[in-house]
Amino acid sequence: MAPLLRVEELRLYFRTAAGPVRAVDGVYLEVGRGRTVAVLGESGCGKTSLARAILRLLPRNVAHYSGRVLLDGEDLMDLPEEQFRQEVRWVRLSLVPQAAMNSLNPVLRVGDQVAEPLWLHGRVRRPEEARDHVAEALRRVGVPTEFADRYPFELSGGMRQRVAIAMALVLRPQLVVLDEPTSALDVLTQANLLNLLKTLRWELGTSFLLITHDVATASELADDVALMYAGQIVEFGPAERFLTEPTHPYAQALRASVVGLREERAPQPLPGRPPSLLNPPAGCRFAERCPARFDPCGQAPPLVPVEGGGRVMCWLYTQEASHAR
Amino acid sequence: MPGDPLLAVRGLSTWYELRRWGFLHQGWVRAVDGVSFQLAEGEAVAVVGESGCGKSTLAKTLLGLLRPLRGEVWFEGRRLSTADDWRWYRRRVGYVQQDPYGALPPFLSVRRILEEPLVVNGVSSPSKRRAQVVEALEAVQLVPPEEFLTRFPHMLSGGQQQRLVVARAILLGPRLLVADEPVSMLDASVRAEVLQLLRSLQQRHHLSVVYITHDLSTVRHFCERVLVMYAGKLVEQAHVGDLLREPQHPYTQALLAAIPDPDPDNAKRLRPVPPGEPPSLVRPPEGCRFHPRCPAAIPGVCDRREPPDFQVRPGHVAACWLYEGARTVTVVSAAEGAESR
C-alpha cells in the first residue's frame, strides 16, 4: 500500500540580501498510515521550513518552491491555493506550531478558538453543535471542558499546549505536523504531554510528523526517524535502527554526543559546524566534519537503500566504498 | 584552612515583593526560601529543578545581583554583610550566562569584550591587558587567539560564543563560577563540548562551579554533587552517582522517571508522572511543598509540618518525612560525601 504522505525532491529556498538560502534542498520523505515519523535535526538545518513547505505555509520571500508532496497518492503541489486551503490544510493536514502555547489568540476564549476550524470549514451550523464538538475535542486531550470559557492566559503552559493540539485534531486530519511540541516545557509537563500524544496515536490512529531537535523526544514517539542535516534528509529508517545502530556518520556522531540519564559513557562532542545554506558545498554536506571522508565525498552522495528499510545519503554504502578499500 | 568550604550558605531566602500600584504591599514571592548548602574548593555542584522553582534566583543571589532577604552567605570564611563585602566577593565570582548571544554586546569585538572587565578592574597597561586576553582565549580553546580578537559575536558559532562568555567569566581569575543553564541554548552536539570545557577549567584552575540546569541528563559527567530544588526549597542533596542511582525524595524519583533515554522501547509505554503542577510561590502549601502531588504523602504529617533535612546516608540528605528515623543535619558538607565513596 502506498504511504499516506510521500515527499519527493522537495525544495524551498528563501530570498535574502545575501542570496537564496536553501533551507529545504531536495528532501525525500515518507509517512506511513498511522505511523509517526520524527524529523530530527539541529537548529538551522531546515526542519521547520520542511514542515512549512509540506503545509504550504510560506512566507513572502520564497525564492524557489518545487518538488512533489503526495498525500494519498494525490500531488498537493498541483492544487491551486484556494483549493488547498479549503480541502487540505487543517482538513487533511494540520499543524501544532512551534511554541504553540503562545500561538493562541489572547482575546478569544479557548472554546471559540477550538471551534474556529469547525465554523470555517462548515462542519457546524449551530453554536450548540460547536459546543459539543469542542467539549469532545478538549476531553480527548485531557483539558477540563469548563476551560472552554477561559482565556488562554488563565491556563498553564501545558494546558495551552493541549488546547493547540485539540485545535489541530478537531477536524480529524489524516496527518498532524507537530513542530517541537515539548521543547519549551518542563520535564514533568513534557512527560505528561508525550503520554498524551502516545495515547492519541493509539486511539485515533492519526499519523504524526514530529519535528524535534531532541533524540530522546524522538525516541518517545517515533516509528521512523528522518535525520536532517543542512537542508537534506541524510538518513531515513526505523527508529530502532537509528537509536541502536545509526548508519550515516552524522547520525553516529550525533548519537555519541548525546548521553541518556542512565548511560555511563561520556558524551563525545562533534567538532565544527554545519555549512552555510547560502552556498552549501557541492558534495556531501557533512564531509568537512566527517571522520570517514574519502575521495568520492567531493560529489553529491546518492540515496542508498539500507537493509531493514529506509535510505542513507552517503558514499560509504555504495560500490565506490568497496573499491576504495 | 584546608577542608573549609569555599562558599557556605545558611537559611538563604530571596523573596520578591508584590505590590499594587507600585507601593501597596500585596505579599511575597518566595523564590528562594531557606536554602542551606556548602561548596568545597574545586567542587562543582549542579542545582536542578523545573522552571519557576527558584534556581535562577538562587544563581542571581550567589552572584550578588540580588540581595537576600534573610540568611547568611560565607565566602572564604568571611561573612558577607556590608556592601563592601559583596563588592569584594563579586570580584571573585564569574558568571556564565544562559544565552551567549544575548550576553555579548553585538557591536564590540572579541578584544573589546574581554578587555572591558580588565579596564574596569584597573589593569591599565595595554600590553598586560592584551596578554591576559590572549591567555583567556587560549584557555577556552579559541585558537589561534589573533584570529578571534578582531571578530564580532555574530561571526562566531553558538559554541564559540559560549566559550567567549566563559573566557570573560574566568578573565579576572575567579574562585567560583556560577553557570546559569550554560548549554540550554546550544545544539546537542555542541553541549558536550562546552560542558567539557567548563569541567577542564574547573579541574585545571581548581575552580568551584555552581551549575544551574533543568536537564538532569547532563549532570553525570560535569559535577560532583547535585542539589534538587522544588518550589524554592532544596529537597535533596547528594553525590551525583548516588542521586542518579538511588534518588530518595519522591520528587527526585518522579523527575528521574520522567526523563527518557534514547531507547526504542520508549514509544511503546507511558511514563509515570505525578499529577498537578508546582505550587504558587506566593502561598506555598503548608508542610512539605510537594505533598499535594506526592504519591507517598503521609496524611497528618506531610501536610502539617515542614520536613527538615534527614541524612539518609553520609553526604545524602532528603527533606522528606519518609526518612524520619534518620538523623537531621543543618548543612551537608562535601567532605562527608567524599568519605562515603
Q: CATH code at B311?
A: 3.40.50.300
Give domain status of residue A163, yes or no: yes
Find the residue in B nearest to A275 (Cα). B157
**Domain finish residue from A124, A154, A172:** A172
Number of domains chain B contains: 1
Q: CB-CB: which of B190, B195, B258 is closest to A191?
A: B258
Closest CA to A280 of A305, A301, A311: A301
A134 inside domain: yes
Domain-embedded: residue A294? no
The stretch B120-125 carries a mean pLDDT of 90
For residue B334, the model assigns a pLDDT of: 55
**For B190, nearest residue in chain A (alpha carbons):** A269
The predicted pLDDT at position A261 comes to 84
**Average pLDDT value for residue range B323-328:** 85
Helix (H, G, I), strand (E, B) or coil at B107: coil
Q: What is the DSSP letter of B333?
A: -
> To the nearest whole angstrom, how far is the Cα of A43 from the nearest Cα of chain B?
7
Domain membership of residue A116 (yes or no) is yes
Give residues with Cβ within 8 angstroms of A285, minimum separation 6.
A229, A230, A231, A232, A234, A274, A275
Q: Binning pLDDT at 50, 70 and 90, where does residue B341 land?
A: very low
Residue the block writes with cell 500585596: B26
Measured CA to CA in angstroms, residue A121 lies from A48, A124, A135, A146 at distances of: 26, 8, 18, 25
pLDDT tens digit sequence for B207-253: 999 999 988 888 888 899 999 999 999 999 999 999 999 999 999 99
The answer to whether residues A81 and A187 belong to one domain is yes
What is the biggest distance separating any 2 CA atoms in chain A, rounded to whole angstroms? Answer: 71
Q: Are residues A144 and A117 in the same domain?
A: yes
Q: Does B263 touch chain A (CB under 8 A)?
A: yes
Q: What is the mean pLDDT of chain B?
A: 90
For chain B, give the percent of residues with pLDDT over 90: 72
Round to whole Å and give the CA distance between B254 and B293. Answer: 10
Give chain A positions within 8 Å (CB) of B259. 187, 191, 216, 261
Can you point out the beta strands (E) in chain B?
Answer: 7-20, 24-39, 44-48, 70-75, 78-79, 93-96, 176-180, 208-213, 225-230, 233-239, 310-313, 316-318
Is pLDDT at A184 greater than 80 in this prediction?
no
From the number of C-beta atoms within 10 Å of its C-beta (0-12, 13-18, 19+), residue A50 rates as buried
Asked if residue A306 has pLDDT above 60, the reply is: yes
CB contact under 8 A, A219 and B263: yes
- Under an 8 A CB cutoff, do B191 and A257 touch? yes
Residue B120 lies in a domain: no
Q: Which of B189, B216, B264 sits opposite A253 (nearest CB)?
A: B189
Distance of CA A28 to the CA centre of its chain: 13
Chain A environment of B255 (Cβ under 8 Å): 187-188
Q: Are residues A62 and A154 in the same domain?
A: no
In the predicted model, is pLDDT for residue A325 greater than 70? no
For residue A263, list chain B residues with Cβ-Cβ distance below 8 A: 261
Contact A257 B244 (CB under 8 A): no
Q: B155 lies in a domain?
A: no
Residue B67 CB-half CA count within 13 A: 8
Rg (CA), chain A: 21
For the cut 60, the answer to whether the pLDDT of residue B14 exceeds it is yes
Taking residue B303's Cβ as centre, other Cβ atoms within 10 Å add up to 15
Quick one: pLDDT at residue B86?
Answer: 94
- Pair A86, A27: CB distance under 8 Å: no
Which of A146, A172, A198 is a domain's end point? A172
Question: Is B174 part of any domain?
Answer: no
pLDDT beyond 70 at B145: yes
Q: What is the mean pLDDT of residues B87-98?
A: 93
Range of the domain at A120: 100-172
Residue A54 domain flag:
yes
Phi, psi of B176 (to 5 degrees): -135, 135
Q: Are A213 and A42 in contact (CB under 8 A)?
A: yes
Of A186, A258, A273, the CB nearest to B51: A186
Q: Of the candidates A188, A267, A268, which has its C-beta nearest B255's C-beta?
A: A188
Q: Do A271 and B273 touch (CB under 8 A)?
A: no
pLDDT in tens, A60-69: 999 999 999 9
Q: What is the percent of chain A where pLDDT is above 70? A: 99
Q: What is the pTM of this model?
A: 0.87
Rounded to an integer, what distance in angstroms lies between the CA atom of residue B332 and that of residue B194? 29
- The cell numbers describing B285, all together, are 502549601
Alpha carbon B105 to its chain centroid, in Å, reads 24
A220 occurs within a structural domain: yes
Q: Is the pLDDT of residue B331 over 70?
A: no
Whether A154 and A199 map to the same domain: the answer is: no
* Residue B155 contacts A where some CB pair is shorter than 8 Å: no
Nearest to A211 by CA among A175, A247, A243, A246: A175
Rounded CA separation A50/A143 (Å)? 30
Contact A187 B220 (CB under 8 A): no
Q: Among A125, A139, A203, A207, which residue's Cα sits nearest to residue A170?
A: A139
- Based on its alpha-carbon atoms, the radius of gyration of chain B, rounded to whole angstroms, reads 21
Considering the domain architecture, whether residues A110 and A241 belong to the same structural domain is answered as no
Cα distance between the two ends of chain B: 23
A78: domain CATH number is 3.40.50.300
Contact status of B189 with chain A (Cβ, < 8 Å): yes
Would you call A254 and B244 a contact, using CB atoms and an 8 Å cutoff? no
Q: How do strand B44-48 and strand B225-230 relate by DSSP bridges?
A: parallel
Is A157 part of any domain? yes
Answer whether B275 touches A (CB < 8 Å).
Answer: no
Q: What percent of chain B has pLDDT over 70?
A: 96
d(CA B41, CA B73): 15
Taking the C-alpha atoms of residue B298 and residue B191, their distance in angstroms, rounded to an integer, is 41
| Mutual angle of helices B188-205 and A249-257, in 10-degree steps | 40
Q: Please state the domain count of chain A.
A: 2
Give B-chain residues touching A267 at CB under 8 angstroms.
191-192, 195, 221
Is residue B123, in this structure, part of any structural domain at all?
no
- Residues of chain A in contact with residue B220, where contact means CB-CB under 8 angstroms, are 259, 261, 264
Single residue among A271, A287, A309 that ends a domain in this structure: A271
**C-alpha span between B214 and B229 (Å, rounded):** 10
Kindly tell me if the per-residue pLDDT of A1 is higher than 70: no
Q: Is A125 part of a structural domain of the chain?
A: yes
Domain that holds residue B219: 7-92+214-340
3-state secondary structure chain A: CCCCEEEEEEEEEEEECCEEEEEEEEEEEEECCCCEEEEECCCCCCHHHHHHHHHCCCCCCEEEEEEEEEECCEEHHHCCHHHHHHHCECCCEEEECCCHHHCCCCCCCHHHHHHHHHHHCCCCCCHHHHHHHHHHHHHHCCCCHHHHHCCHHHCCHHHHHHHHHHHHHCCCCCEEEEECCCCCCCHHHHHHHHHHHHHHHHHHCCEEEEEECCHHHHHHHCCEEEEEECCEEEEEEEHHHHHHCCCCHHHHHHHHHCCCCCCCCCCCCCCCCCCCCCCCCCCCCCHHHCCCCCHHHHCCCCEEECCCCCEEECHHHCHHHHHHC
Instruction: Give pLDDT tens digits for A77-134.
Output: 999 999 999 999 999 999 998 888 788 999 999 999 999 999 999 999 999 999 999 9
Closest CA to A277 of A21, A64, A46: A21
Q: Evaluate whether residue B118 is within a structural domain.
A: no
| Interchain CB contact of B131 with A (< 8 Å) | no
Which of A188, A243, A271 lies nearest to residue B262, judging by beta carbons?
Answer: A243
**Amino acid B335: pLDDT:** 54
